[in-house]
Structure 1
Amino acid sequence: MELRVLRYFLAVAREETISGAAESLHVTQPTLSRQLMELEEQLGKKLFIRGSRRVTLTDEGAFLRKRAQEIIDLADRTEADFKTSDVIVGGDVYIGGGETEAMRLIARVIRKMRERYPNIRVHLFSGNAEAVTERLDRGLLDFGVLIEPGDITKYDYMRLPAADTWGVLMRRDSPLAVLPAIEAEALRGLPLLCSRQALGQNELSGWFGSAADKVNVVMTYNLIYNAALMVEEGIGYALCLDRLVNTTGDSALCFRPLKPRLEAHLDIVWKKHPAFSRASEIFLKQLQALLTEDDGE
């Protein structure tokens, strides 16, 4: 498959008409139609359903759209890395991570790096561990910030000097809000919202102990923002990490840590033997320098 043809395919998927895509690509409609037919023949799959007014993607077409966009993004990024000037250091750094206060440390690194290299751009991707590692493995991210525990053996990594605290997000008028900390027995039978990643963590299930068989998970989430709205509307109590939702001032929500205390440590990971751009190398060196400074304090 040629990159040019994949760009043609993505344009048709975006415009939903051959004519609109041809106009945006500055090619003739017959040329575009022929390229798409040859792509379908090459793959042995029908990619479009051609209607009277618009074209829609088949299931195979929807799958190719996702893969094609990843391929084009990676190709464009590689070309941009090669075009970066040797005199003026610039380029792009791609970082993924879940919702965690540890991203403040990453922000400090980025700020210091851009003070010296203002032409470096940083692209942040927010997602759970599965989404981050998938993009990392595909070469769409340079670094990923992951919450322990997790399988990081296939990556190079550094542990970050930060830890998040597990607890319960609840309405301020909840009966549990009067408690300074929440024990497992207090959650027995209550409707809980829990991240999909956390459900698979033995550490969290171990914290519940004998109450684990009475855990009543009524909803799962991958990022806390929408889960916090569910809590505010009275769906239940969310197991989450501290300092991710504003619980100060007039907020209807409050956070209580677990008892005994349960912390989640964090790592920043990257692929072994990476083909780093100069910008990514600078970010890693800046991070290592900052962590060394913190160790010396």
Structure 2
Amino acid sequence: MDIRVLQYFLAVAREESITKAAKTLQMTQPPLSRQLKDLEEEVGKQLLIRGSKKVTLTDDGMLLRKRAEEMIDLMEKTKEELSSSTENINGEIYIGGGETDAVSFLAQAAGKLQKEHPMVHYHIYSGDAGIVTEKLDKGLIDFGLLVGPVDVAKYDYMRLPITDTWGVLMPKDSPLAEKEVICAEDLWDKPLIVSHQASISSEMFSWLKADRSKLNIVMTYDLIYNASHFVKKGVGYAIALDKLINTTGESELCFRPLYPTLEAGLCIVWKKYQVFSRASNEFLRQLKKEWETDI
């Protein structure tokens, strides 16, 4: 499967038109149509539905689009690593992580490394543990920052000497805001907003002393910033990690920790036997220095 043809295919998927894609690719329509037809014959599947007004993707076409984007991202990442200078360390570092205040640990390492090697650039992707480890396994990121109990057996990793604290984000005028801590029974009859990862966490439901079917989970979220707007409008109480939303000053919201305390462990992971670029190697070295300083 030729990378160039995959790029043609992605152009058509973006433009939803072979004619428009041909213009952006600076080629004529007939050879582009032929390349696409050859691609469909190679994979043995129809990838495009050629309508009178626009081109749409079949289910197989949507799958190929996702995989093609991943392959081209990996190819570009590899090219950048190979083209990096042998005299001065430069290049791209790709990091994935969940929402956590511990990202400041990565930022601190990056800040110090940047003073030594200003030509190193960083790319941050957000997502839960499933999304981060998928990108890591496919080679699309170099490092992952994972929150909570996750299986790290197939990775090399550093457990951070810090933890995040779970609690409840709520309007300051809500009845539960009068409490200093929140117990499980306080939430049994409340509309709850929980993260996607927490919604399938046995640890969270063990703390809640209830299974999902007995709780009123009205919403799940990926980013607590987005969920906080629903909290402000009274949609529900968000179970979230501390220090992610500003609750000081004139903020409409407040945060109360869970009791008994429920903490989320944190670790930085990377693939075993990973062949790092010089930039990624230097970043890992700096992370280890920061870790040794903090423990």
Q: Same fold (TM over 0.5)?
A: yes
SS at match of 1:149: coil
Instruction: Give the Å deviation of 1:229.
Output: 1.3
1:182-220, Cα deviation, whole Å (9 max, x unpaired): 111111211111112112223222222369874322222
Q: Quote the residue 2:131 is aligned against.
A: 131
Q: Which amino acid aligns with 1:88?
A: N
| 8 Å CA contact 2:169, 2:255 repeated in 1 | yes
Cross-structure match for 1:250: 250
Report the counterpart of residue 280 of structure 1 in structure 2. Answer: 280
Offset at residue 170 of structure 1 (A): 0.6
**Contact (CA 8 Å) 1:96, 1:143: kept in 2 or not?**
yes
Q: Distance in 2 between matches of 1:138 and 1:212?
A: 32
What is the rounded CA distance, in whole Å, between the counterparts of 1:250 and 1:124 in structure 2?
A: 30
- How far is 1:291 from its partner? 1.2
2:169 corresponds in structure 1 to 169
Distance 1:220 1:292 in 2: 37
Tell me which residue corresponds to 1:203.
203
Q: Which amino acid aligns with 1:204?
A: M
Contact 1:189–1:214 (CA under 8 A) maintained in structure 2: no
Q: CA deviation at 1:258?
A: 0.6
Q: Deviations over 1:239-277 (max 9, x none)?
A: 110011111222211110011111111000011111211
Distance, in Å, in 1 between the alignment partners of 2:96 and 2:20 is 34
* 3-state SS of paired residue (1:122): strand
Please name the residue that 1:109 is paired with. 109
**Native 8 Å contact 1:158 1:267 kept in 2:** yes
State the match for 2:59 in structure 1: 59
Cα distance between partner residues in 2 of 1:237 and 1:181: 14
1:107-158 alpha-carbon deviations (Å, 9 max, x no partner): 0000011110100111000111111111111110111000121111111100
Aligned to 1:39: 39
CA root-mean-square deviation: 1.4
Q: Match for residue 265 of structure 2?
A: 265
Instruction: Tell me if structure 2 keeps the 8 A contact 1:22–1:28.
Output: yes
Show CA shifts across 1:71-98 (max 9, x none): 0010111011111110121011100001
Aligned equivalents of 1:222 and 1:262: distance in 2?
20
Q: Give a deviation string over 1:28-80, Cα, whole Å, max 9, x none.
A: 21111100000011111111111223211122111111110100010111011
Given the superposition, is the C-alpha separation of residues 213 and 13 from structure 1 closer, same or farther in structure 2, using an over 3 Å criterion?
Answer: closer
Query: What is the number of equivalent residue pairs in this alignment?
Result: 295
- 1:288, distance to aligned residue in structure 2 (A): 0.4
Question: Whole-Å Cα distance in 1 between the matches of residues 255 and 125 of structure 2?
Answer: 26
Distance in 2 (CA, whole Å) between partners of 1:50 and 1:137 is: 35
Contact 1:196 1:221 in 2 (8 A): yes
Which blocks of at least 5 consecutive residues in structure 2 are unaligned? Answer: none
Q: Identity of counterpart residues, as a percentage?
A: 55
Alignment of 1:74-93 (within 5 A): 74-93=74-93
Q: Which runs of 5+ in 1 are unaligned?
A: none
Aligned residue type for 2:67: R
TM-score, normalising length from structure 1? 0.96
Question: 3-state DSSP class of the match of 2:121?
Answer: strand
Aligned match of 1:289? 289
Q: 1:6–1:68: 8 Å Cα contact kept in structure 2?
A: yes
Partner of residue 120, structure 1:
120
TM-score of the superposed pair, with normalisation by structure 2? 0.96
Equivalent residue number for residue 27 of structure 1 = 27
Amino acid at match of 1:85: S
Whole-angstrom distance in 1 between the partners of 2:19 and 2:203: 56
Q: Is the 8 A contact 2:188 2:216 kept in 1?
A: yes
Question: Which range moves more in the overlay, 53-62 or 236-245?
Answer: 53-62
